[in-house]
Amino acid sequence: MQIEFTLNGRLIYEETRDDETLFHLLRRKGCYSVKCGCETENCGLCTVLVNGVSRLSCSYLAARADGCDIVTLEGIQKEAEEFGSFLSAEGAEQCGFCSPGLIMNVLAMEKELDSYEEEKVKEYLAGNLCRCSGYMGQLRAVNKYLSRGENRNEC
Amino acid sequence: MIRFKNYVRAESLEEAYNLNQKKSSVIGAGMMWLKVQNRIKMTLVDLSGLGLDGIEETDEEFVIGAMCTLRQLEIHKGLDGYFPGLFKECTRSIIGVQFRNGATVGGSIFGRFGFSDILTCMLALDTYVEFYKGGIIPLEEFCSQKFNRDILVSIRIKKDGRRAYYASSRMTKTDFPLIACCVSAADDTYYVSVGARPARAELAVISRKEEADVKKLAALAAERFRYGTNFRGSAEYRKHLTEVYVKRLFMALNQEEG
């Protein structure tokens, strides 16, 4: 079937199989930041923004993306680089496989939440699994990233 | 993973209903649980274009569209105002936000899954389900019915003054619940719902007059359910947890009353 959607700001017309997932479609379109870790909707590696909302592309039908605005890490390089610098400063990355999904969800969280208490942040990011970092470095990076505005004001 | 040949975004409930009468068709809601099933179907009927994704509040009830997501349920101000913290508590441990942005209330309720937090929670409230052809029936009655091929349109929670609390136990933070309990109270009656036993949630209605001591009353409530054993826990352990959690929920309700 033929679908039409916006991918990282570009209008795309694409032929897709009826039961193809958005994850496979995005990989076909060259969005290699979108990764598949579990395929059981647990790991959060395949997180993308669909109409501004974080979704698991491994369980989202490509057919449903018709008319939607899809954003992957490739479409938000500037924001991703900024948060990425906090991750590297905290030594929060090892293999880096989970980072694109985490970054997408952190950016979605930043837009959605109005305050960032630690428990709220942990709860929001519970769907992003990491097998090697132990989460502490990531959490430090997320907290520092979210409070960067306050630090600027202090300076 | 589910495979199918044709994807149809239904343009009306009538179209969805007619398409779903064939055994080779399946309704696609959030596609979270459906997607991981090893099934082959001819047609997937998508309800996402039917405007069933809102929560409407009236003086008498909340009408939750079948395609409303668990995240909407979690953060809806009206629901949180009437049932403080209840839906937040019953949804917050379900995988992650991305998952809850996809999983639908209708999918959880229609599936009547044994692990469902949502079903457990709503069963303790005065909840009804609305079907396209079958009309409106109490959720408890629907839970005892066999699977049908009707279309779930909405879930209706009556504002009957019940106050409710929810608690669950999990082996890890985002796992399926090992046991899930919800207790609501109205006048002299407790409505105790227990799910993940590991069977489908059931409801027990208990009068406060049966026993003054909450510990004994919780033990009485726990006796009303059957428990099973799986790799998450034994039947005995589940029963013990039910007694503990139901007692805590009774106490929370009593404390609220002062």
Based on the fold, state whether residues B171 and B128 are members of the same structural domain.
no
Based on the fold, state whether residues A139 and A83 are members of the same structural domain.
yes
Domain limits for position A86? 76-154
- Residue A154 confidence (pLDDT) above 60: no
Cβ-based interface (< 8 Å): residues of A facing B: 1, 18-19, 21, 39-42, 44, 47, 53-56, 58-61, 63-64, 105, 108-109, 123-128
Domain limits for position B30? 3-46
- Residue A150 confidence (pLDDT) above 80: no
Kindly indicate the confidence band of residue A28, based on its pLDDT and cuts at 50, 70 and 90: very high
Based on the fold, state whether residues B91 and B118 are members of the same structural domain.
yes
Tens digit of each residue's pLDDT (9 = 90 or more) over A56-69: 999 999 999 999 99
Based on the fold, state whether residues B126 and B203 are members of the same structural domain.
no
Of the candidates A15, A39, A74, which is a domain's last residue?
A74
Based on the fold, state whether residues A61 and A82 are members of the same structural domain.
no
Looking at chain B, the whole-number percentage of residues with pLDDT higher than 70 is 100
CA torsion through residues A40, A43, A48, A52, sign: positive
Tens digit of each residue's pLDDT (9 = 90 or more) over A99-112: 999 999 999 999 99
User: Rounded to whole angstroms, what are the CA distances from B115 to A141, B97, B202, B221, B241?
Assistant: 34, 18, 12, 20, 16
The DSSP string of A53-78 is EEEEGGGSBGGGGTT-EEE-GGG-HH
pLDDT at A45: 96
> Could you give the number of structural domains in chain A?
2
ipTM given for this complex: 0.93
Helix axes B214-223 and B235-257, enclosed angle (nearest 10) = 140
Based on the fold, state whether residues A69 and A83 are members of the same structural domain.
no
Higher pLDDT: B258 or B29? It is: B29
- Residue B28 confidence (pLDDT) above 80: yes
Based on the fold, state whether residues B213 and B139 are members of the same structural domain.
no
Based on the fold, state whether residues A55 and A87 are members of the same structural domain.
no
Of the candidates A74, A101, A135, which is a domain's last residue?
A74
Of the candidates B122, B138, B158, which is a domain's last residue?
B158
Number of H helices, E strands in chain A: 6, 5
Give the pair of three-digit tokens for residue A40. Answer: 């059981």
- Residue A155 confidence (pLDDT) above 50: no
pLDDT at B187: 87
- Residue A3 DSSP code: E
Kindly indicate the confidence band of residue A127, based on its pLDDT and cuts at 50, 70 and 90: very high
Based on the fold, state whether residues B242 and B177 are members of the same structural domain.
yes
Instruction: Indicate yes or no: CB of B35 within 8 angstroms of CB of A18.
Output: no
- What lies within 8 Å, CB to CB, of B113 at 6+ separation is B33, B119, B200
Chain B, nearest residue to A42 by Cα: B95
Query: CA of B7 to nearest chain A CA: how many angstroms apart?
Result: 5
CATH number of the domain to which A6 belongs: 3.10.20.30
Based on the fold, state whether residues A54 and A87 are members of the same structural domain.
no
Work out the end-to-end distance of chain B between its first and last CA atoms, rounded to an integer number of angstroms.
51
Instruction: Indicate yes or no: CB of A61 within 8 angstroms of CB of B46.
Output: yes
User: Which of A131, A132, A135, A3 minimizes the C-alpha distance to A66?
Assistant: A3
Based on the fold, state whether residues A67 and A85 are members of the same structural domain.
no
Tens digit of each residue's pLDDT (9 = 90 or more) over B10-20: 999 999 999 99
Query: CA of A154 to nearest chain B CA: how many angstroms apart?
Result: 32
For chain A, how big is the Rg over CA atoms in Å?
16
- Residue B86 confidence (pLDDT) above 70: yes
Chain A, nearest residue to B95 by Cα: A127
Kindly indicate the confidence band of residue B31, based on its pLDDT and cuts at 50, 70 and 90: confident
pLDDT at B94: 94
What pTM was computed for the model? Answer: 0.94
> Could you give the number of structural domains in chain B?
3
pLDDT at B212: 85
Identify the H or E element spanning B190: strand B189-195
Based on the fold, state whether residues A30 and A93 are members of the same structural domain.
no
pLDDT at A152: 53
Instruction: Indicate yes or no: CB of A19 within 8 angstroms of CB of B95.
Output: no
Tens digit of each residue's pLDDT (9 = 90 or more) over B193-235: 999 999 999 999 999 888 889 999 999 999 999 999 999 999 9
Kindly indicate the confidence band of residue A148, based on its pLDDT and cuts at 50, 70 and 90: confident
Give the pair of three-digit tokens for residue B25. Answer: 């068709």
Based on the fold, state whether residues B153 and B168 are members of the same structural domain.
no
Chain B, nearest residue to A46 by Cα: B98
Instruction: Indicate yes or no: CB of A63 within 8 angstroms of CB of B1.
Output: no
Based on the fold, state whether residues B38 and B69 are members of the same structural domain.
no
Tens digit of each residue's pLDDT (9 = 90 or more) over B143-182: 999 999 999 999 999 999 999 999 999 998 889 999 999 9
Instruction: Indicate yes or no: CB of B101 within 8 angstroms of CB of A55.
Output: yes
Interface test mutation site (partner A, options B26, B98, B108, max chain A beta carbons within 10 A) = B98
Higher pLDDT: B180 or A150? It is: B180
Query: CA of A126 to nearest chain B CA: how many angstroms apart?
Result: 5
